[in-house]
């Protein structure tokens, strides 16, 4: 979190399926170093296929923020700007973020300012969505009240890893999420990286070990993690702070990124 006195915008980051919030520590530090307070709750310890627990836990986090809970853990001179909140989620956490933004569960009166899906996933394949389903398979169907949305995808997420199923299967992954967004919406795809390549370089424990083999991965996590951190910061600066210079530099190709991208947007 920021250490200098001031009021700072927030990003709530929801972890992926069967992952730990601690697996995102390097990504969180990257984003926070640019002047954002990052709140990354552990949504559950154990869970099944139903994503209702993820969504309800995320809603409780938003309610906790609205009740001033964050003030109890921040330094006295650091204040959250509750009028500038971004919501991001990775994998099934991305599904939960969209579900929350779409009002599929009751939250507080806090208004979200921006929505980010980091390789979001809504199930095993089209027709096998995880309850509650988010994707409608109708273009531009997400009614988000003109909230700006960014969807980050991976090229290797839809590729099987050995005998295991793809971690972000076609038909329920970033492509479909973006298709259902309304303007303003942005879609960045890192073609040579996988579904878990934005995690820490070292993820420990049984679940941490599983992250190295459960999905098709790129050669290194560092470039993808650096890109995700950078584009999240650029998007948040553009839509929460009114400075779109970094975001437009990436879109226009005047800013070199650590990964090869395909980009589309609807403004």
Measured CA to CA, the distance from residue 177 to residue 151 in angstroms comes to 7
Which tokens in the block code for residue 50?
């139903």
Give the full edge-to-edge strand order of the sheet including 149-154: 37-39, 6-14, 78-90, 114-118, 149-154, 185-190, 261-266
Distance CA 64, CA 75 (A): 17
* Residues belonging to the chain: 267
Supply the DSSP symbol for 58.
H
Which residues are identified as catalytic? 91, 119, 195
> Is the Cα torsion angle 202, 208, 210, 214 positive or negative in sign?
negative
| Calpha distance 63→238 (Å, rounded) | 25
Here the tokens at position 154 are 């991976």
Distance CA 87, CA 94 (A): 9
């Amino acid at each position: 979190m920021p250490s200098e006195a001031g009021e700072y915008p927030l990003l709530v980051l929801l972890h992926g399926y069967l992952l730990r919030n601690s697996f995102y520590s390097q990504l969180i530090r990257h984003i926070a170093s640019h002047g954002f307070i990052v709140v990354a709750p552990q949504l559950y310890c154990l869970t099944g296929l139903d994503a209702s627990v993820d969504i309800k836990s995320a809603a409780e986090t938003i309610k906790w923020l609205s009740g001033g809970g964050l003030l109890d853990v921040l330094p006295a001179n650091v204040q959250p700007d509750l009028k500038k909140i971004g919501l991001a989620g990775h994998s099934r956490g991305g599904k939960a973020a969209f579900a929350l933004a779409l009002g599929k569960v009751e939250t507080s009166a806090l208004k979200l300012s921006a929505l980010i899906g980091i390789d979001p996933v809504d199930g095993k394949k089209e027709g096998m969505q995880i309850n509650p389903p988010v994707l409608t398979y109708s273009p531009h169907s997400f009614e988000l009240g003109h909230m700006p949305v960014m969807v980050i995808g991976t090229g290797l997420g839809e590729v099987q890893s050995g005998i295991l199923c793809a971690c972000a299967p076609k038909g329920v992954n970033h492509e479909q999420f973006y298709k259902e967004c309304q303007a303003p919406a942005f879609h960045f795809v890192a073609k040579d990286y996988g579904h878990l390549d934005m995690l820490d370089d070292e993820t420990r424990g049984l679940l941490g070990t599983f992250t190295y083999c459960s999905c098709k991965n790129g050669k290194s996590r560092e470039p993808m993690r650096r890109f995700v951190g950078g584009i999240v910061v650029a998007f948040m600066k553009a839509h929460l702070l009114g400075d779109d210079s970094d975001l437009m530099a990436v879109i226009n190709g005047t800013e070199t990124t650590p990964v090869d991208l395909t980009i589309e947007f609807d403004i």
